[in-house]
Structure 1
Amino acid sequence: MLINGVPWFDDRGRTVNAHGACLLEENGRYYLFGEYKSDDENRFAGFSCYSSPDLVNWRFERIVLPPQAGGLMGPGRIGERVKVMKCPSTGTYVMYMHSDDLHYTDPHICVATSETIDGEYTFAGPLTFQGEPIHRWDLGSFQDDDGTGYLLIHEGDIYRLSQDYLVAEEQVARQIARGGESPAMLKHDGTYFLMFSHKTSWESNDNFHLSAPALEGPWTYQGVFAPDGSLTCNSQCTFAFTLRTGSGPVHMYMGDRWSFPRQASAATYVWLPLHAENDRLSIPQYWGAWDPATGRPAELMGNEAGLDFSSDEPGQGIDIPFTGTRVALIGQSRPDGSYARVEITDANGAAVTSGYVTFYSKVPDHGYRYVSPSLPAGDFVLTISVLGEPSEWSNKHGERFGSVGTRLSLDRVLVIE
């Protein structure tokens, strides 16, 4: 099952690190492309590619676009919002990205290509429109039923791409979503839906959407699509994908739970089914876990025990012995929550896995906070402790965002034998 809001682990036991992502399906396998974040600073460390047969078990393929020796994706640059489409006319995989300097004052939309979906992409430079580079930032991509490719831009600009996907040929919509960023699009029964986030830096907000009978419009504002006040289930939209399930197609919202500064280790994902009806989208309810094969909610099953641990004292923690193959922690994220360190040791005291999780969210949420990777059956001890480091940042205007404390709050543990 797919579990939201917890770190996912790949075939190496490492955290799946693919943010601002997109998803493609090819030959029965899903390919996830995203920003390969670091925990030290917000700089371009590469774009990653993972693959999966089921959206649950992930294999690390490679860094498909590493930092370049110089130029727009070289040292001292930011790389964000990577999107990949396969061009029907050439068979080439075309990658789009936002490049910028570390102060977000030199934005470019750039392009790279590869002959294979998971190969190393060759950086080609800025994407152009009417012969000039596109100096914009947040972007999305959309491929229509006839194979035509489109580039989506913050504030609601839409460009039709050339037949080879390497040039923006026509601007088909302009400024239809003032104040919107992180665009994502899907099509249902001939209606186009376009989702946006408001601009609140790494913080979540109530994302909104528009609908139209054609990409040229007219576009109609449809309001929020997740429960009002939930801050889009404490996430920000990044992509929309349509799953093929045994009961029919299921549109899937893909969102990020950013966690600055520990983006590599503690930032997570929220993927949920989207309902389309009467020219509107909705996520009626947040599911902590669900089955992508059916599009229905699910729960981890195991031996459950109560915990009563809450602390904001740095270094204070709790040891949880367990026997089994997997363990899950359930607790509260909240405005005064922040990072915790998690370590699992075996019967000999040797470290098996370790990492960080976050207990911060602007809107309080009770649910899964950590689910371990699968382990060989045995006796283990999970230790979780308060890191004492708040999740906090400032936007480009100097406004402070993030946690107002460093609390860790747990009330249950679930052991899978």
Structure 2
Amino acid sequence: MKKVCSYFGVFLMMVLVMVNFQSGKLVIAASWSPPSPDELAANDYILYFVNAGASTPDEIPPGEKLGLYQSKTEQSYNVDAVTGNSWGYTTTYKSSATSSSSPNKFDTVRYYDPPAADKVPKKGLEYKFDLPNDKYEVTLGFKNPWSTRESDIILENSNVDKRYTVVQGKEQIETYEVEVTDGELNIEVVRPAEGGSATSTWADPLVSFIVIKLKVDITKEVLQKAINKAESINRDDYTDYSLDKLDQAIGEAKAVLENGKAHQEEIDKAYRNLNDAYNNLATPYSSFVPGAVWNDTGGTPIQAHGGGIMKDGDTYYWYGEDKTNGYLPATGVHAYSSKDLYNWKDEGVVMRAIESKDQFTTDPYFADLYAHRSEEEKDLIFSDINSERGILERPKVIYNEKTKKYVLWLHVDGPYQGSDANYAKAKSGVAISDSPTGPFEYIESNRLNKAPEGEPVYGPDTGMARDMTLFKDDDGTAYVIYSSEENMSLYISKLTDDYLQITGEKYGMDYIRALPGKQREAPAMFKYDGKYYLMTSGATGWDPNQASYAVADSVLGDWTIKGDPSVGTGANTTFQSQSTYIIPVDPENGKFIYMGDRWNSGNLKDSRYIWLPLEFDQEGDMMLKWYDKWDLSDLDNKGVLELVTALPDAVTLGKQPELPNTIEIINSGSQQKVPVTWKIDEQSFSKPGPLNITGILPTLNNKIITHRLFIIPDNVKYFVSPGSTVTKDYEEMSSYMEDTLENKGVNDQVYDSNSGNIWGYSGGKTATTDGNDIFSSLRYIVKDSEQKDFTYTFEVGEGNYTVFAGFYDPWAVYAKGDRKADIFVNEKLVDSEYTYSDQYEVKGYKNRNAVNGKIEMKVQPAASVAGKPNSDSQISWIMIIDDHAELKKLIEIAETKEERDYSKASFALLKKAIKEAKEVIANSANQKEIDAAVDKLEAALDGLQRLVQNTGDMLKILEDLEKEGAFANNGAFRSLEVHLIAVNRFEQKEVAEKVVKHLNGFKSLLANHQKSALISEEAFNVLYVHTDYLIAKWQ
């Protein structure tokens, strides 16, 4: 601990010396003076606020105040660049920070992170702070994202809280008083000195924030000033609940002032309470902050998880799971009401879970609500909604205009038919009420539809019904959408006119399996622009995963999977959320809100809500982007617009498309020309496949449009896409390759050269899965295959080739990084330990020389994962590019040329270029050498000097030479012209003897002209060569 003589010595160091050492140099700090009493009071006597582990230490969390002795919220122990005070976490013990950039002070964490061998008692985190000798209040905040752990809390070498327990996911605050006598406050959060989890691997100490306040005795004058400040606010700016708390604190403070015998502790307490109430004044919400704590109008965090919205008149009602008690015991269905979607009034638990059967007679709520039900019915009701074991999830409410009832459906689960498992029952429950705010009378639960006879079943075919939602169509027809077959298939069942049951068992009329075998849950359905949209999540428990959506022209029609709507960072986990509902704010104008849950499995009560605007591109494809903060105006211009301007559908590999700076669109029926900014990444055009390019329309609220085009290489010899069906993008891409593609019309096959299948797969036992594009359709090794590798072979002929391959793992969440492959091309390892992921990826292997006329691509599990579950190899598509194709075509063209038709010199260059090109093909040339051979052969072909075919051609050449000034005078030109005209007459009569005779005479005349300098040397050579060629032709 640092020794400083006195209070004066500390401040002399800070005010007069004010220096720090950086890079070995003495640096004068910025001017800073100790705070005055008024400044201390105005800052609530906060000297340090540490947002431990913050990735943005220059930002102050909402509602917090920066300490007067610091200029940032987190740093390693050093001199503060502004105040000159030394403070921060020390490196005595190794620590790390989470990467959270959340504005919430509880969401940041600094934790002890030593080598495994160093995990011993009495070690952990240490912070040090320059402070004058005095008394202080130290507040420590904790929110543990991991398993429960214990720590000793040590202030100034005193263990003030032994084996303090920090539970998972809970926000915890502790405040201690401490006296500093040596000019420095030391805070340690360390492993317990004894007992507990002192050496456990999962017990590393942590802290979320630290607040250090000067402890002062508040005078009555200071308390009166605080009252005056609190009473001077504009009350219209704040919520009723926070004003009620402020009024209560003001009243208590006034009572203390009026009490002439009040003790100092009472004055201090009144001041703290008033100060807290003032600092916690809340303004009504006017925007959404996804992931933040969302309080109701009473100041309590909203408990409506897995919920849905019903609009009744001009009021929205939000129904959801009440997780106040965590997973269990169940509380029931909680409801909230709102006029603006921002601020929600608590309407209470509108369908309560029941604790005991006695409540049917002892509790007026249950006694009145279920008075008309039989004892047998009450037993069934208790079995479903009892608080101890009843799982009540995903409640949704719709209004029935015919019966004038509000109808609630929910997933009901718990022990069932001898099984004690929490999710054995798998039923849908239904309840009704005369009011949107309840009470809802629980009716019954049922299992629902089963797979149609003769169709494949992907799980127990017992009518299971788990994650669910409701959808009410424009004509009043309602449907329940739910996960069944152990969550492997998603069903849609029509409801009866009263919405209390499903209509029947006729497939296609009463129900369908919208997504059979796709393992989807958390459905959310809505209708827009004449189409039905269905958003779902994967089935990964409380963990977030990649969303997907499908579209259909009718609810019980065919559903087409469109893929993940999320874009940007965090898209692969739907921004750490799971879908629950889509709010149709203004469906006619394309205004919808995505409702998602960010589950906190360690503390379900603190699960957060992720509400985001939905957006649609010009094709009606749905997009979901992250917003740190947004409001309802951000829903403007999110609907479908029509793109009038034609954009390119394909571009050659390595080239970028030519895109306009302005485009014509039709938006809300009006055609307009708008500027567009394209987001182009050059690297995106270096690999083949589908590519979505993005345009931003700045004049339309930065609306995003997307356009899909294909990156197509030249000279594709084979393009393989495994799967029993051909995907649309494969068909479209293949159409650009027809001139060179060998496997036209066949997307995949087994390799069997003996039967004429000169390309295809072989090796271990494989199967395919069909997707909606070339990545999600793939071939994979089945689990019971003894041989764990498989190969694609292509008989291509000699030469160099580029191999492109597409990879995607739809089961990545189960593989957990263990699906890794070694990839070989012609037995050469080209990719070691390739790790599959849930992202589409293209790999390219260039300059691969054919061996025995073949290209073979083998995929096998990497040695590091061999034998592990979910490590079997797979591949989505393969493309074989003939690197020599262009060169081969040029050789073919060059070899059609006849030597006698060209000058000897130019044809000699051509023959040399042909020879060198063939050598390039025969050897393992790189792309640079191939390109050079192409350039040389093209130049040789362009440089061929073709000889004339008749005297008519000669006359044209003669005229051109005359225009170029090749003759000394006009007489020289005319004499040659007369000779050629004479030859031409005999040529037309095909009198060979006369043609030859006169051509020889023409040669003699040329020689005389040369001797007399009547013709240029270049013109003489040209005419002489052509004359010799014509003489040889006629002889």
The answer as to whether partners of 2:591 and 2:636 remain within 8 angstroms in 1 is no
Q: Quick one: which of 265, 285, 288 aligns to 2:628? A: 288
The answer as to whether partners of 1:128 and 1:168 remain within 8 angstroms in 2 is no
Separation (CA, whole Å) in 2 of partners of 1:250 and 1:196: 19
Shift of 1:99: 1.0
Q: Quick one: which of 444, 452, 465 aligns to 1:136? A: 465
Matched, 1:46 2:332: yes
Q: Percent identity?
A: 30
Cα-to-partner distance string for 1:235-274 (whole Å, 9 max, x where unaligned): 10000111139x944011110001112111x211111111
| Aligned pairs (5 A) from 1:82-97 | 82-97=395-410
Shift of 1:13: 1.1
- TM-score, scaled to structure 1: 0.66
- 2:511 partner amino acid: V
Q: Quick one: which of 33, 36, 54 aligns to 2:322? A: 36
Cα-to-partner distance string for 1:368-411 (whole Å, 9 max, x where unaligned): xxxxxxxxxxxxxxxxxxxxxxxxxxxxx9x9xxxxxxxxxxxx
Report the CA distance shift for 1:176/1:130 in structure 2 as closer, same or farther (over 3 A).
Answer: closer
Shift of 1:145: 0.7
Shift of 1:41: 3.5
Separation (CA, whole Å) in 2 of partners of 1:250 and 1:100: 34
In structure 1, the residue matched to 2:500 is 166
- 1:238 partner amino acid: T
Shift of 1:294: 5.0
SS of the residue corresponding to residue 71 of structure 1 reads helix
SS of the residue corresponding to residue 13 of structure 1 reads coil
In structure 1, the residue matched to 2:385 is 73
Separation (CA, whole Å) in 2 of partners of 1:134 and 1:123: 21
Greater fraction of residues in helix: 2
The answer as to whether partners of 1:127 and 1:166 remain within 8 angstroms in 2 is no
Separation (CA, whole Å) in 2 of partners of 1:256 and 1:233: 10
Matched, 1:110 2:450: no
Matched, 1:225 2:538: no
- 2:350 partner amino acid: V
Q: Quick one: which of 213, 235, 254 aligns to 2:595? A: 254
In structure 2, the residue matched to 1:234 is 576
Shift of 1:286: 0.5
In structure 2, the residue matched to 1:146 is 475
In structure 2, the residue matched to 1:378 is none
Separation (CA, whole Å) in 1 of partners of 2:295 and 2:444: 33
User: How many residues are matched?
Assistant: 295
Q: Quick one: which of 554, 564, 570 aligns to 1:214? A: 554
Ranges in structure 1 where 5+ consecutive residues have no aligned partner: 298-396, 400-417
Separation (CA, whole Å) in 1 of partners of 2:397 and 2:424: 25
- 1:73 partner amino acid: I
Separation (CA, whole Å) in 1 of partners of 2:472 and 2:616: 18
Report the CA distance shift for 1:109/1:271 in structure 2 as closer, same or farther (over 3 A).
Answer: same
Report the CA distance shift for 1:169/1:2 in structure 2 as closer, same or farther (over 3 A).
Answer: same
Separation (CA, whole Å) in 1 of partners of 2:306 and 2:526: 17
Separation (CA, whole Å) in 2 of partners of 1:293 and 1:54: 12
- 1:162 partner amino acid: T
In structure 1, the residue matched to 2:458 is none
SS of the residue corresponding to residue 211 of structure 1 reads strand
Shift of 1:9: 0.5
SS of the residue corresponding to residue 3 of structure 1 reads coil
The answer as to whether partners of 1:31 and 1:51 remain within 8 angstroms in 2 is yes
Q: Quick one: which of 514, 528, 531 aligns to 1:191? A: 531
Separation (CA, whole Å) in 1 of partners of 2:548 and 2:493: 21
Separation (CA, whole Å) in 2 of partners of 1:82 and 1:38: 16
- 1:76 partner amino acid: R
Matched, 1:122 2:441: yes
Separation (CA, whole Å) in 2 of partners of 1:184 and 1:129: 18
Greater mean deviation of Cα atoms: 254-263 or 159-168: 254-263
Report 1 or 2 for greater relative contact order, CA contacts < 8 Å, sequence distance ≥ 6. Answer: 1
- 1:251 partner amino acid: F
SS of the residue corresponding to residue 105 of structure 1 reads coil
SS of the residue corresponding to residue 237 of structure 1 reads strand
- 2:336 partner amino acid: Y
- 1:108 partner amino acid: K
Separation (CA, whole Å) in 1 of partners of 2:389 and 2:447: 23
- 2:596 partner amino acid: G
SS of the residue corresponding to residue 120 of structure 1 reads coil
The answer as to whether partners of 1:126 and 1:134 remain within 8 angstroms in 2 is no
SS of the residue corresponding to residue 62 of structure 1 reads strand
Separation (CA, whole Å) in 2 of partners of 1:89 and 1:134: 28
The answer as to whether partners of 2:389 and 2:422 remain within 8 angstroms in 1 is no
Report the CA distance shift for 1:188/1:41 in structure 2 as closer, same or farther (over 3 A).
Answer: closer
In structure 1, the residue matched to 2:542 is 202
SS of the residue corresponding to residue 174 of structure 1 reads strand
| Root mean square deviation, CA, Å | 2.4
SS of the residue corresponding to residue 575 of structure 2 reads helix
Shift of 1:130: 7.9
The answer as to whether partners of 1:54 and 1:293 remain within 8 angstroms in 2 is no
- 2:351 partner amino acid: L
- 1:213 partner amino acid: D
Greater fraction of residues in strand: 1
The answer as to whether partners of 2:327 and 2:604 remain within 8 angstroms in 1 is no
Greater mean deviation of Cα atoms: 100-109 or 8-17: 100-109
In structure 1, the residue matched to 2:349 is 63
Separation (CA, whole Å) in 1 of partners of 2:595 and 2:449: 32
Shift of 1:126: 1.2
Which structure is larger by alpha-carbon Rg, 1 or 2? 2
The answer as to whether partners of 1:195 and 1:208 remain within 8 angstroms in 2 is yes
SS of the residue corresponding to residue 72 of structure 1 reads helix
Ranges in structure 2 where 5+ consecutive residues have no aligned partner: 1-286, 358-381, 415-420, 451-461, 484-488, 505-509, 638-813, 817-1035
Shift of 1:279: 4.5
Cα-to-partner distance string for 1:162-202 (whole Å, 9 max, x where unaligned): 00001101433115252000111011111111111001111
Separation (CA, whole Å) in 1 of partners of 2:339 and 2:546: 32
Separation (CA, whole Å) in 2 of partners of 1:40 and 1:162: 34
Report the CA distance shift for 1:273/1:223 in structure 2 as closer, same or farther (over 3 A).
Answer: same
Separation (CA, whole Å) in 1 of partners of 2:444 and 2:407: 12
Cα-to-partner distance string for 1:17-40 (whole Å, 9 max, x where unaligned): 100000011221111000000344
The answer as to whether partners of 2:449 and 2:463 remain within 8 angstroms in 1 is no
Matched, 1:270 2:610: yes
The answer as to whether partners of 2:427 and 2:448 remain within 8 angstroms in 1 is no
Greater mean deviation of Cα atoms: 183-192 or 285-294: 285-294
SS of the residue corresponding to residue 10 of structure 1 reads coil
Report the CA distance shift for 1:16/1:173 in structure 2 as closer, same or farther (over 3 A).
Answer: same
In structure 2, the residue matched to 1:98 is 411
In structure 2, the residue matched to 1:313 is none
Separation (CA, whole Å) in 2 of partners of 1:236 and 1:190: 26
Cα-to-partner distance string for 1:112-146 (whole Å, 9 max, x where unaligned): 00011112100001146589x95321111100010
Separation (CA, whole Å) in 2 of partners of 1:263 and 1:107: 21
SS of the residue corresponding to residue 14 of structure 1 reads coil
Greater mean deviation of Cα atoms: 56-65 or 212-221: 212-221
Separation (CA, whole Å) in 2 of partners of 1:148 and 1:186: 13
- TM-score, scaled to structure 2: 0.27
- 1:72 partner amino acid: D
Report the CA distance shift for 1:286/1:268 in structure 2 as closer, same or farther (over 3 A).
Answer: same
- 1:88 partner amino acid: E
The answer as to whether partners of 2:482 and 2:490 remain within 8 angstroms in 1 is yes
